[in-house]
Amino acid sequence: MELAGKRVLVLGAGRSGTAAARFLVARQARVALNDRKPIEEWSAEARALEAAGVKLFSGDVPQWLLDHIDLLVVSPGVPTKSIAVRYAERASVEVIGEVELAFRFLRGQLVAITGTNGKTTTTALVGRLLADARLPVQVGGNIGTPLVALVDTSRDDGWTVAEISSFQLETTDRFHPRVAAVLNITPDHMDRYETFNDYAAAKHRIFRRQTEEDWAVLNADDEVVASWASGLAARKLFFSRRREVERGIFLRERTLVARLDGGERALLRTDELALRGAHNVENVMAALCMGYACGAPLESMCETARRFSGVEHRLELVAEVNGVRFYNDSKATNVDAAAKAFEAFAEEAGRIVAIMGGRGKGAPYAPLAPLVESKARALVLIGEDADRIAKELGPYAPAVERAADMRQAVARAWALAQPRDVVLLAPACASYDMFVDFEERGRAFKAAVQELLNEATSRKAEDA
């Protein structure tokens, strides 16, 4: 793909768009960057691109600009039904996303991982499995480092492991992962997709260019994902927590079992895993399937899986204060993820004080009702969707309180909790009403917990 001299418009000045603009201008493209936010609200990195020759535009894209471009690069947060995208398509201008742009220049082999939940943990684990097996590997995509920022460090004999969202898959064309996985599909982003089938179809695009030389990793327990198997060209590996599979990895009682290359082998027990929760057992099995497809030895991968304790903002133990443990699951941005967080503490002696709320995604909160009824001591609600959560889940909770910010939410949760309880940040919502992203929300929770811990430590010192 020749970029020198091409007139390129990048829509969206967030992390992905900024990285794409930087990549394009470094290859002598003539670049314009647009975002609906006023330029003064853009990141310093985005504003700094002006000094490199990038033209910056805020608000609606001027029609004259759309009439003079050769390529449109769309950031994940920009809907493909936006006026600018539709205008470009009608004018026969090529429209791609940052992931597609990156793929056209990446060297080596690609592992792509999507799904409603578990993407980040699984992506990080696959990267660790390959690294510990001494395979050249780098990790990025929706997990943090934009894929386009990994082009220059990719190598012909290496692997790039990428978390890919449905939004990113919408704007792919030639995107062709050697190993592609769909972990699960449950209702999410219903504020963007008209139907659940539209959302699932976006996920399915990850397999679009695969051939019989490639690998598809599928969740055999997910009805939608499993139904795709017969229509895929790639070789298939399945993972399952509920039944034995013909080829892949499954759970037999409490042991992970591999059925690969015509043989069967016990790998490790679930109580050996550092990750907690049944959903993380699924993530480990999926990661092991992908590692196998990449050529990593099972022995090495099992050792890594035993040590891997997860990533920040995913069921992250922050602290224990006077017998109450605080867990940060800020990445639980939808109802299904919040349910998995609750289920991870199903066998705990104490109860859960859950901090929930934010910007809802249009899905009902009702699936959480049985978990709230059986396990919650209280709900502390924040953000735009607090009223809706209170209406749908309040009747099932012993107590419901509101908080204006995260610091107040943590203080109220702490006041409600009893020894052996868990204070769990599992918002079931996006963060954009109060925070830049889920990471900032998670850091705010951790900072508030640290304040509590410091105060408790000071009081103990004074009493001594």
Which residues form the catalytic set? 119, 142, 189
CA–CA distance, 336 with 367 (Å, rounded to integer): 8
441: tokens are 């929300």
Q: Which uninterrupted H or E stretch holds 33?
A: strand 30-35
Q: Strand 255-260 vs strand 263-269: parallel, antiparallel, or unpaired?
A: antiparallel
CA–CA distance, 188 with 249 (Å, rounded to integer): 27
Q: Which uninterrupted H or E stretch holds 317?
A: strand 316-321
365: tokens are 């909160």
* CA distances in angstroms from 179 to 138, 143, 209, 211, listed in the order given: 15, 17, 11, 11
Give the start-end residues of each E strand in 214-298: 215-219, 235-240, 248-252, 255-260, 263-269
CA–CA distance, 462 with 464 (Å, rounded to integer): 5
> For residue 86, is it left (φ>0), alpha (ψ between -120 and 50) or beta?
alpha
Q: Of the candidates 423, 409, 436, 432, which has an alpha carbon nearest to the alpha carbon of residue 359?
A: 432
Query: DSSP label at 306?
Result: H
CA–CA distance, 12 with 372 (Å, rounded to integer): 38
Q: How far apart are the first and last CA of the chain?
A: 70
Inter-residue contact 382 to 355 (CB < 8 Å): yes
CA–CA distance, 125 with 161 (Å, rounded to integer): 10
Q: Of the candidates 449, 450, 403, 458, which has an alpha carbon nearest to the alpha carbon of residue 427?
A: 403
Helix (H, G, I), strand (E, B) or coil at 247: coil
Give the start-end residues of each E strand in 329-414: 352-357, 376-382, 400-402
Q: Is 156 exposed, middle or buried (0-12, 13-18, 19+ CB in 10 A)?
A: exposed
- 218 alpha carbon, distance to own chain's centre: 17
CA–CA distance, 168 with 155 (Å, rounded to integer): 23
347: tokens are 């066998």
Question: One-letter amino acid identity for 45?
Answer: E
408: tokens are 């107040």
